[in-house]
Amino acid sequence: MTVGPDRLRDKVVLLTGATGGIGAEIVRRLAEEGAHVVLTDLEKSGCQDLLDTLTQPERHTALALDVSSEEQWEDVVAATESTFGALHALVNNAAIGSVATVDEETRSQWDRVIGVGQTGTWLGMKHAGPLIERSGGGSIVNMCSILGTVGGLGNSVAYAAAKGAVRTMTKNAALHWAKARVRVNSLHPGFIGTPPLLERWEGSERHREMLAGTPMGRLGRGEEIAAVVAFLAGDDSTFVTGSEIYADGGWTAA
């Protein structure tokens, strides 16, 4: 078992939502640990720009993927197998948010949030999971949230619904693949200080509520979430499946 810079050496990892704040940090961490990363997002160009910043860009590949499209999932998984011959980990990171409350949310926005965060995660498992199994086993990391477990600030109802479903789907899939050497775990970040979050909320009452509810008294950093993803994607977590991993500064413990 290798720990350190080469912990993920030559493992093939497919990541959705690669160009977001947390996604980009995950890409960098996986690449630093030796993985071949399949970067996906709605626009291939953004993935390619990020890929070009990596030390050995030729080890990775960039693909366009709308995670709510089953046809595009089929194409991306087929392209991954064609390029690398295997898949060892899937990181279902793509999601979109909405801060609307239960009585303010619109049907159209609800459908968009559920389509990406919930349906997209299921489609990823459905199409990438069998390839991971055929590759000798590996890991699926479903990016969840504290809002998949607790009520948070009493808003973001569609996002909470999607993440609550991801939390339960993860356990269901973990049992399905338990003897097939495919581990499935959910990662639940608290409030993470990515540039989009800070640009929108820093200094606001909502920002103060985020800090007040976090016992550590600060927002998380993207690289802190990426470190947990690297652990779950590799062989240091071979007896971890169906688990909820919280990286929330103590939010859910309070």
Amino acid letter at 157?
V
Q: Where are the beta strands (DSSP E) in 48-122?
A: 61-64, 89-92
Rounded Cα gap, residues 73 and 254, in angstroms: 39
Do the Cβ atoms of 192 and 221 come closer than 8 Å? yes
User: Is 159 in the active site?
Assistant: yes
Rounded Cα gap, residues 142 and 156, in angstroms: 19
73, 84, 122, 159: the catalytic one is: 159
CA dihedral defined by 12, 17, 22, 26, rounded to 10 degrees?
Answer: 10
Please name every residue paired with 64 in a beta bridge, in sequence order, or none if there are none.
Answer: 41
- Phi then psi for 242, rounded to 5 degrees? 70, 15
Rounded Cα gap, residues 57 and 37, in angstroms: 10
Q: Between the CA of residue 11 and those of 34, 118, 189, 191, what are the distances in Å?
A: 7, 26, 24, 29
Give DSSP secondary structure letters for 174-199.
HHHTGGGTEEEEEEEE--B--HHHHH
Residue where the block lists tokens 């640990």: 33
Residues taking part in catalysis: 159
